[in-house]
Amino acid sequence: MQIKANEALDSVSKIETTTGAGQDELVQRTISKDIHIDYDNGPIGKGRFGTVWKAKWNGDDIAVKVFFSMHESSWSRETDIFQTNLFHHEHILRYITSDIMGLGCTVNMIILTEYHPLGSLFDYLQNNTLNINILSNFLYSIASGLNHLHLEIFSTNYKPCVIHRDLKTKNILVKNNLECCIADFGLAVKFDSLTNRIYGLEDFSLRQGSVRYMSPECLNETLNLRSQECLKKSDVYSFSLVMWECLSRLRVKDIEPEGHRPPFYEYIAGDPEIESMKHLVCAQMIRPRINFLENTSDQRLQQIIDIMQECWSSNPAERLSALYLKKRFKKFISSC
């Protein structure tokens, strides 16, 4: 179900919310009137489509994503993804509702979600190092969330496969229990195997998402849009770079790692151009270095490195599935 900002304005006193199972419920008073955004302390996150603020609603802390006016399609897309049947999961950011907020002569489109004070995984890695237990928790919970996105459920309420298309540490949040949840679905699409069709294809481009995390098949525009498996394996490649970032902040034998760096930092700084990344990843087949973990004697750590390298294979068919990753990392947690 697509929601249009101009349609919402015609009846701003009414909004649609979701239970997370796809059941829509009509609310007679717009939630935006009950939100108190903390503008004094600045935004807690910024992205290509808008900014995220901490706010109060009914005495509880929540996060409010305010979309730039020119990005109505992203607001509509993300709202639609959040309202997907059976979408709710412990390792996916909990959705509250979407609304329209009027500020003077301007109108802002907003999405309300659960607030996580530890911030994004990117922020956490900037300020903290990891031990093997926390690393295992992070990787398991991300794989668990990704598996639920990719999962197609055939039941009374059908859930299509969801492809994230922009998985990176800035789009993953750290929960208070030191597990993670996947967020930011502004570029996500649904794949329905019953019709063999991608929903959200209107402005679909192979080269969308963050260039540094793009899979080889996205960079060289060979991604098979008719294959659900190929689309999912593109997300898995991005996950492998998230794995690398986490590993780069791992304390080994009480030796402090170097500061947090993005993948491929040793080859390309700043915001890379697509052609530069394409040459590096596709032509030269280069992947981030793991010399900081050379000659490790920890068997679990070596297994994680092997898994990561399988996930960033140039051949999508050789990459592991999110379900397999979830099961493997679950075993690591059990052995901690």
Dihedral of CA 238/121/330/258: which sign? positive
pLDDT digits (tens, 9 = 90+) for 266-294: 999 889 999 999 999 999 999 999 887 76
**Residue 205: pLDDT over 70:** no
Q: What is the pLDDT of residue 19?
A: 45
Sign of CA dihedral 266, 256, 245, 96: negative
CA 28 – CA 17 distance, rounded (Å): 11
Does residue 12 have a pLDDT over 90?
no
Per-residue pLDDT at 243: 98
- Listed in order, strand segments (DSSP E) in 28-81 are 35-37, 45-46, 50-57, 60-67
Please give the CATH architecture assigned to the domain spanning 32-114: 2-Layer Sandwich (3.30)
Radius of gyration of the chain (CA): 20
Provide the pLDDT for residue 10: 38
Given this model, what pLDDT does residue 103 score? 65
Quick one: pLDDT at residue 141? 99
> According to the model, what pLDDT value does residue 272 have?
93
Per-residue pLDDT at 299 exceeds 70? yes
- pLDDT reading at 174 higher than 80: yes
Residues labelled as active-site residues: 166
pLDDT of residue 293: 74
Average confidence score pLDDT of the chain: 87
pLDDT at 94 over 70: yes
pLDDT band at 112 (very low <50, low <70, confident <90, very high): very high
Q: Is the dihedral of CA 136, 303, 147, 78 positive or negative?
A: positive
Does 36 have pLDDT greater than 80? yes
* % of the chain residues with pLDDT over 90: 66
State yes or no: pLDDT of 13 exceeds 50: no
| Domain regions of the chain by residue span | 32-114, 119-334
Locus of tokens 């101009």: 6
Kindly state the tokens that stand for 256. Answer: 């402090």
Q: Which of 94, 79, 113 is nearest to 20 (CA)?
A: 94
Q: What is the pLDDT of residue 207?
A: 58
Per-residue pLDDT band for 48 (boundaries 50, 70, 90) equals confident
Residue 56 annotated as binding?
Answer: no
| Domain 119-334, CATH class in plain words | mainly alpha
Average pLDDT, integer, range 24-42:
73
- For the segment 67-77, the average pLDDT, to the nearest whole number, is 87
Give residue 17's pLDDT band: very low, low, confident or very high (50, 70, 90): very low
